[in-house]
A and B are shown apart, each in its own frame.
Chain A
């Protein structure tokens, strides 16, 4: 660095010098493509929202039907994320700690919701949970619960799409966790439950919270798998993304834009929280 000419030093002050070529080309291409595909279109949405004006925006956002759909989307996403956190941690634990026949198959199956198109998952879930479907009959007979074509169906679909996020964020951390701490805890006389909840859980917490946040964020925006299993009645089982589609079909672009902006602001806040969580876990636990 010290040998560099003043001009070069100034030019490279925002990056460390490297002998490798291609920085300007690849970063330039990255920024141009990013702007063209992601940033400019998103800015278009922001501009359209700004052009609505404060009063019109809130009038659209506080429309009872809009509020109901947002409540359902966020409420169902939180419920599904809670279920996924409990079972996701359990599945990750079983996959990492135990050896049993078929473990590899099970491990591969966890990624199924990532790979299976949402429309396919949607019609499959709708068939399973419909009042005359195999799961629908059992749930109604045993528990008197209607899942298909209700808001409970929305939660079921969101559990399906969100499960891998928790498993795949907790699993690698659980694999790397130091077994010696557990042994120390056990030899000091702590019972197994105490060791797991007091010694291991704090180390896993950032990963668990990240998984929860990712599962929640995915659930809020989910559309394809939900619309088949819910009967999409306003105020009952109409999710916010569906209401955007309906407003678009009515050519009510202002309302669609307002709902989309609320969803985006909350999603970006979630993304920010996820990044904070990961920075926090890096600092305190030395892993992501």
Chain B
């Protein structure tokens, strides 16, 4: 909500409409209780369980070689998937927001497709595409390229899962801003790239940052799709979420929660930056969003 709207609401005298104080109190209490029990409690449990056996066990779990290699793989996958979808998101939003053409809404639906696909099914389609009894599988094997049960497969599945995030954030924002500023820049003689970097990018940078943050959080946290394509090879194809599963199933709950606390902290940082961006730049973020 914009600050202006909040300020305006504060100034208006007490409304004739609205609920009585008792109803108000009950509704707020129910909302607080529901969110507290359903959302906050699971978050707290992560940190309580992570430190349940003391700081020593916590640090030990994080320093394990398997944890370290899982962390490295997670960072590597995000470092490839996020920029790839960032470039796509910028290109797609330029084409869709700055130009009018037929089939635009159909294209938007296609971009949304990965949101409608179950993570496990996302993994499955790449198993079918690159697996041993597929068209591409034997050919890739002859070339000596291992996609499935290796890093490339994990990267591709992650790109698929996080495909719409940046585009979804940028398209409504750039549509809302129109293209008159860019048209002015071009008519004054600026080239396409110059117009983009000096005119468009400053206008959408916060929305872009927000999209990248969401994309990154999902890329680092993806479980289902990566689980299907990774083959679970310890120390080689385990990302942090897969490592958590292995530790948890090995009855090493404290260690599992220690690793989970890393990802929970990433989630908290993502939410904190998001809240800050929304409070400061309410106008320069799209009003409506879906994830």
* Chain A residues near B (Cβ < 8 Å): 14-16, 18-23, 25-27, 29-30, 33-34, 37-42, 44-45, 48, 87, 90-91, 93-100, 104, 106-125, 127-128, 135, 159-160, 163-165, 168-169, 172, 175, 179, 182-183, 186-187, 192, 195, 214, 217, 220-224, 228, 241-242, 244-245, 248, 253, 256-257, 260, 263-264, 267-268, 270-271, 275, 288
Contacts and interface: CB of A to CB of B under 8 A. Distances in A.
Interface stretch (B59-67, B127-135, B201-209): B127-135
A183 B274 CA distance: 35
Contact of A20 (B88, B121, B128, B186): B186
Given A168-B290, A244-B121, A116 B263 contact: yes
A91 B17 contact: no
7 contacts: A15-B102, A29-B91, A96-B1, A104-B279, A116-B263, A163-B38, A271-B109
Contacts of A214: 290
Contacts of A223: 118-120, 223-224, 227
Interface residues of B, number: 111
The interface residues of chain A, by DSSP majority, are classed as helix
Contact of A115 (B16, B116, B119, B217): B217
Contact of B186 (A21, A29, A128, A182): A21
A127 B121 contact: no
**The 5 residue pairs across chains A and B that have the minimum distance between CB atoms:** A221-B118, A117-B221, A15-B101, A224-B223, A115-B267
Q: Is the interface of B mostly helix, strand, loop or mixed?
A: helix
Interface in B1-50: 1, 5, 10, 15-19, 24, 27-28, 30-32, 34-35, 37-43, 45-46, 49
Contacts of B15: 179
Interface of B: 1, 5, 10, 15-19, 24, 27-28, 30-32, 34-35, 37-43, 45-46, 49, 87-88, 91-92, 94-96, 98-103, 105, 107, 109-121, 124-129, 131, 133-134, 156, 159-160, 163, 179, 182-183, 186-187, 191-192, 195-196, 214, 217, 220-224, 227-228, 240-242, 244-245, 248, 253, 256-257, 260, 263-264, 266-268, 270-272, 274-275, 279, 287-291
A96 to B, nearest CB: 8
Contact of A119 (B96, B196, B223): B223
- Interface-central residue, B15, B114, B118, B131, by most chain A CB under 10 Å: B118
A179 B186 CA distance: 43
A156 to B, nearest CB: 8
